[in-house]
Structure 1
C-alpha cells in the first residue's frame, strides 16, 4: 500500500501538529482533484465558446443537449462515487484482496449505466418536441446527443476506475487523464465543428464527436497505464477479474444511489430556478448566470477538499483510527469556514471587476454586481454544507444526508426563494436576489442539520459493513 499519499496517523503528536499534518494530507489528495475538476469544466467552456462561434443555433443545440446529459451523468457519477470511500476504507484496513472485486462491481454498474444513458439520450425526441424548438436547433441537439452517446461507456469507465485510483490515494492519475481529455478535445472540436482536414463542417454536432473521441482516448490511455504501471501490478484489471457479486453490488448501490440523488437534487434546483427567472427578462437571466458561474468556479476548491476529506476519513476508519477521523472531520470545518470567508471578501471587493470581465452590458453588470453581494453570503453556507456532507460520506453515511438535502433545497430554499422573488409575503418582491437569499437559507439549513448529523454520528465499530 502507498503510505505516501495516505499516511497512518501519528497519535502521539500534539493536537495542533496532528491537525496541520492532516490538513497537509488533504492538500496532497485534494490538489490533483481540483485540477481534474477544472479540466472537466474546461471541456464545457470550450464546447460553448467554439459552438457559439459556429452559429447561435449550434450554441443552442449544444447547450440544450448538455442540459439533458449532464443531470444523468451527475447521477451516475454520484452512484459510482461510492467506490472511492469503499476502496479507501479497504486500503486503510489493509485488506487489498477486497479492492479489485469492488472495482469490478463498479465496472459492471458503469456498464449498465452506460446502456441506460445511451437509450435515454438517443431517444429524446418527445422532450425536444415539448420544448417547441426550431427544427434546425432540434436537429443539432439530437445529432449532438447521438454523437456524444458513443463516448458514454468511456466516460463512465473512467468514473468507475476513479474509485480505484482515488481510493488508493493516487488522485494525480485521474488528474493527468482529465487534462489529456481536455487537450484532445480542443483540436478535435476545431476540426469537427469548422470542417478541417477535409472533413465537412458539423457545427454543434461536431462537439459531440469531439467529446466522445476525447473520452475514448483518455479511457484507453488510462487502461493502458493501469495494466502497465508497476504501481498497479497488485491491482491488474484482467488478472484480477471478478464475476458479478449481487451482495457487493447492493452494498455499493446502497451508498451510491443516495449520493447520486443528492447531487441530482442540488443540480435540479438550479435548473428550476433558471426556468422561474426566465419571465424576468434576458438581463436578469444573464446576471444570474454570471453570478452562478462565478460561484461554481470558486466552489471547485472546497468541493475538491471535500472529496479529499471523504477519502481520508474512510481510510482512517478502515485503519482503525476513529479519533483521527473525528479530528479531521471537525477541524476541516475551520479550514472550510476560513476559505469561505476569503471568497466572500473577494466577491464583495471585486464584484464590479468580475462583472466587467463577463460582459460589457451596463445593465447586466448592475444585476450581476447586486447578485454577487448575495452570492458572497451564499458561498459561506455552501462551503460548510459540502464539507459536512463529504465527511459523512467518508463515514459511509449517505441516506440521512440525502433527506436533509431534499428538505433544505426543496422544502426551504426553493419555496423561500420563490416567495422572496415574486411575492410580498415576507418582504417586498426582490427579483432574482430573492432566489439567492432563498438558496442561502436552504444551504444554512443544510449546514446546521448536516453539522448536527456529523457531530452526533458514531461509525460502526468494524468500519466496513460488507461484502
Structure 2
C-alpha cells in the first residue's frame, strides 16, 4: 500500500485492494454454494440436512473467525506506523489463538451436537445428514482458523491478490471433490450432503498449506520471517487480539446466527420450505460478498491511514466505499428481481421448491440495500479499531428488533415463513441507520481530522 494524494488515486487503490478481495470471497463462498447447489441436485432431504447443519456451523465459524480478523487492523496499524519488526510476533500469536479456539470448538461440538439436533423436529434422514455433515467439517476447523489468520496478515499488507490466487487455485479441487463424494464417483459410495462436508474439510487443509508455503518462500512475506522464530505463547498479546477481535466476532456471530435461528424456526413448515429458504438465503449470501469485500477493503485502508495519522484520507475512503456499495447493490437487486425464477432453478428440480425459492428471493432484493450501507460502515469502524459499540448495535438491531418482529409477523399475520424474512430486513435497516450515525460520530470525534479540516479552510 502507499499514501494517496487525491480522490482519483484513492479510488484506484481501493479498487486494487477490493477486486482481489471480492474474487477471494466469492471463491470461498463458492465452496458453500457448491455444497448447497450440488446437494440440492442430489435430493431435497439432503439439501435440508445441509441447511440445518450450515445453520449451526456458519454462525460459529464466522463468529470465531471474526475474532481473528483483529489481525488485519493490528498489522495495518503497525505497517502504517512503520513498526514492521512487531508484525511477526502478532501474527504468530494469532495463529496460536486460532488453533486453540478450533480445538475448543471441536470439543464443545462433540458434546452438544447430538442433543441439539435431537431437540429439533427433523425427519430422521435430515437429522442423519446434518449430523454427519458437521462431523465431516470438523476435520477442517483447525486449518480453516489458521488460514484466516494468515489471510489477514497477507491482506493487511495490501497483497489481496495473493489470497485471491490461493483461493482460486483450490476451487476446482473443491468442485471435483464435491462431485466425487456427493454423487459417488471413482468407485466411492454416494454420500450426498455428507460428502460435501468431507470435500470442504479437505479443501481447508489445502489452502492453509498453500498459504504457509507462499508466506515462507515469496516476497514481501518472507522478509518478515514469520516462521523463522518459534515464539512462545504470550497471553498478553492474546488479550490484545481478543479485546479487539471479540466484539468483531460477536457482531458477526449475532448477524449470522439470526439467519441460522430463522432456518431452525423454519423446521415447523416442512422440508420443502427449509430447502427453499436455504437456497434463497444461500444466493442472497452470495450477493452479500460484494459489500462484505468492500468492508474488508475499508478495514485495511482505513487502518493503514489511521495508523499513520492521516484521518482525512481515512474519511475519504469511507465515503468512497459506502457510495460504491450502494451503487452496486442497486444493480444487483434489479438483476435478482428480474431473474429470480432462473436463480431458483439452479438449486432444485422440485417444482414446489423452485416456486418457494423464487418467492423468498423477492425479499432478498431488499436485503441488498441495507447490506450495502451496513457492511462498509462496519469495515470502516474496524479500521478505526472502534468495535464495541458496533457489537451492541448489532445485538439490538437483530435480536431485539429484527427477530421478534419477524416472529410476530409469522405467527399473527398471513405471511407465514415470509414474516421471518421481513423481520430480518427490518433488523438490517435499523443496523444500517444506527451504524451510519456511529461512523459520523467517530470521524467527528477524531481530533486529527478536525485539525486537518481547519487547515484546509484556512
TM-score range normalised by the length of the shorter chain: 0.7 to 0.9
| Structure 1 residues 456 and 204: alpha-carbon distance in aligned structure 2, compared to 1, 3 A threshold | closer
> 1:322 Cα shift?
0.7
Q: Tell me, in whole angstroms, the C-alpha distance in 2 between the residues paired with 1:430 and 1:188.
A: 40
Distance across 1 between alignment mates of 2:75 and 2:289: 23
CA distance in structure 2 between the aligned counterparts of 1:54 and 1:340, rounded to whole angstroms: 32
1:406 lines up with 2:401 in the alignment: no
Deviation at 1:138, TM superposition (A): 5.0
Q: Are residues 1:340 and 2:333 paired?
A: no
For 1:117 and 1:350, how far apart are their aligned partners in 2? 40
Alpha-carbon distance between aligned partners in 1 of 2:43 and 2:358, rounded to the nearest angstrom: 29
Aligned residues: 447
Gaps of 5+ in 2: 450-458
Match of 2:99 among 105, 111, 115: 111
Q: RMSD of the TM alignment (CA)?
A: 2.9
CA distance in 1 between partners of 2:350 and 2:179 (Å): 29
Question: 5 Å matches for 1:251-270?
Answer: 251-270=240-259
Could you say which residue in structure 1 is the equivalent of 2:415? 430
Q: Which stretch of the first structure deviates more once superposed, 323-332 or 125-134? A: 125-134
Listed as ranges, the gaps of 5+ residues in structure 1 are 1-5, 11-17
CA contact (8 A) 2:121 2:268 kept: no
**One of 173, 195, 208 as aligned partner of 1:219:** 208
Corresponding residue of 1:81: 69
TM-score, length basis structure 1? 0.86
Structure 1 stretch displaced more, 162-171 or 454-463 = 454-463
The farther-off stretch of 374-383 and 357-366 is 357-366
Map of 2:11 onto structure 1: 23
Change (3 A) 1:278 1:53: closer
Preserved CA contact (<8 Å) 1:36 1:174 = yes
Residues 100 and 242 in structure 1, CA contact (< 8 A), matched pair in contact too: no
Give the alignment partner of residue 46 of structure 1, picking from 34, 59, 69. Answer: 34
Please report how far the alpha carbon of residue 450 of structure 1 lies from its aligned counterpart in structure 2 after TM superposition.
0.6
1:33-72 counterparts in 2 under 5 A?
33-51=21-39, 59=47, 61-72=49-60
- Alpha-carbon separation, structure 1, partners of 2:104 and 2:34: 27
Q: Does 1:8 align with 2:36?
A: no
Going from structure 1 to structure 2, the CA distance change for 1:418 and 1:193 (only over 3 Å counts) comes to: closer
Alpha-carbon distance between aligned partners in 2 of 1:194 and 1:64, rounded to the nearest angstrom: 20
Once the two structures are superposed, the pairs formed by residues 360-379 of structure 1 within 5 Å of their partners are 368=357, 370-379=359-368
Distance in structure 1 (CA, Å) of the matches to 2:196 and 2:364? 32
**Aligned partners of 2:52, 2:362: CA distance in 1, in Å?**
29
* 2:452 counterpart residue number: none
Question: 2:455 aligns to what?
Answer: none
Partner secondary structure for residue 156 of structure 1: helix
How do 1:119-198 and structure 2 match up within 5 A?
119-123=107-111, 124-131=113-120, 138=127, 140-193=129-182, 196-197=185-186
In structure 1, the partner of 2:424 is: 439
SS for the counterpart of 2:2 is: coil
Structure 2-normalised TM-score?
0.87
Give yes or no for contact 1:378–1:437 (8 Å, CA) kept in 2: no
Distance in 1 separating the partners of 2:415 and 2:51: 28
Whole-angstrom CA distance in 1 between matches of 2:43 and 2:330: 41
Distance 1:259 1:225 in 2: 27
Aligned twin of 2:236: 247
Distance 2:129 2:61 in 1: 20
Whether the 8 Å CA contact 2:321–2:376 is kept in 1: the answer is yes
- For the residues of structure 2 that align with 1:218 and 1:438, how far apart are their CA atoms? 37
